[in-house]
């Protein structure tokens, strides 16, 4: 994907596709790209590989980014948080998997609030900062809208001890009860607070 960013009176083309480590510097420059966000993967299915691989790949990305900068292309790391629906990522057992409202698992997606995944992401961010990257980006925008795992439900006091059928009615049913409407709003506020908390962790890691 290519889009433009307003900068003073000019537009600066930005490349945000998942180019991976094999991105072609000359080709991007020929396209008029001045800034590229690149996933630190040697291949597409490294999203959930062992952290050491990503840390090592970040070092490789920095070397290529330094070379690209000499030619007029700024390159920054692009991270994936919870996963993608294409089904090409194997979910490691160390992560807590997302759940649907009925309790079934969402294949290929990590729960955003999973402590292990968040810890690994902070390690990646710290490494990128230490390497001297001035920017980082997240492909998933820290989204946390579709996970209804037991941990999420138990962490929200209005849903503790409630059966999933009742929770589904509150969140997805036709609103005929004003109290349900208030609970629904509080649920999304609760989700937002979880994302904001992790964003603060990112901020402290970077700064």
Identify the pLDDT of residue 13: 62
Question: Which parts of 111-165 are beta strand (E)?
Answer: 137-138
The Cα 18–Cα 35 span in angstroms is 13
pTM: 0.85
Identify the pLDDT of residue 8: 44
Sign of CA pseudo-dihedral 154, 160, 164, 170: negative
Identify the pLDDT of residue 2: 37
* Placement of tokens 């007029």 in the chain: 72
CB 137 within 8 A of CB 78: yes
* Residue 184 burial (C-beta neighbours within 10 Å; 0-12, 13-18, 19+): middle
Each residue's pLDDT expressed in tens, for the chain with a length of 207 residues: 333 344 444 556 665 544 689 899 999 999 999 999 999 988 766 788 899 999 999 999 999 999 999 999 999 999 888 776 544 567 889 999 999 999 999 877 889 899 999 999 999 999 999 999 999 998 765 668 889 999 999 999 999 999 999 999 999 988 888 899 999 999 999 999 999 999 999 999 998
* Residue 72 burial (C-beta neighbours within 10 Å; 0-12, 13-18, 19+): exposed
CB 65 within 8 A of CB 71: no
In terms of DSSP H, where are the helices of 8-114?
25-30, 51-70
């Amino acid at each position: 994907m290519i889009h433009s960013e307003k900068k003073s009176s000019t537009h600066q083309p930005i490349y945000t596709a998942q180019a991976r480590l094999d991105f072609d510097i000359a080709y991007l420059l020929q396209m008029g790209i001045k800034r590229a966000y690149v996933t630190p993967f040697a291949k597409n299915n490294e999203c959930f590989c062992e952290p050491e691989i990503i840390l090592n790949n970040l070092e490789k990305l920095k070397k290529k980014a330094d070379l690209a900068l000499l030619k007029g292309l700024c390159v920054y790391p692009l991270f994936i948080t919870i996963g993608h629906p294409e089904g090409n990522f194997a979910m490691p057992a160390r992560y807590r998997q997302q759940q649907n409202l009925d309790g079934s698992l969402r294949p290929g997606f990590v729960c955003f609030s999973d402590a292990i995944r968040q810890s690994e992401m902070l390690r990646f961010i710290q490494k990128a900062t230490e390497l001297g990257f001035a920017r980082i980006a997240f492909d998933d925008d820290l989204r946390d809208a579709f996970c209804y795992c037991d941990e999420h439900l138990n962490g929200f006091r209005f849903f503790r001890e409630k059966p999933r059928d009742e929770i589904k009615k509150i969140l997805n049913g036709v609103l005929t009860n004003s109290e349900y409407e208030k609970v629904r709003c509080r649920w999304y506020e609760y989700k937002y607070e979880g994302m904001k908390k992790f964003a603060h962790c990112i901020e402290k890691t970077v700064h």
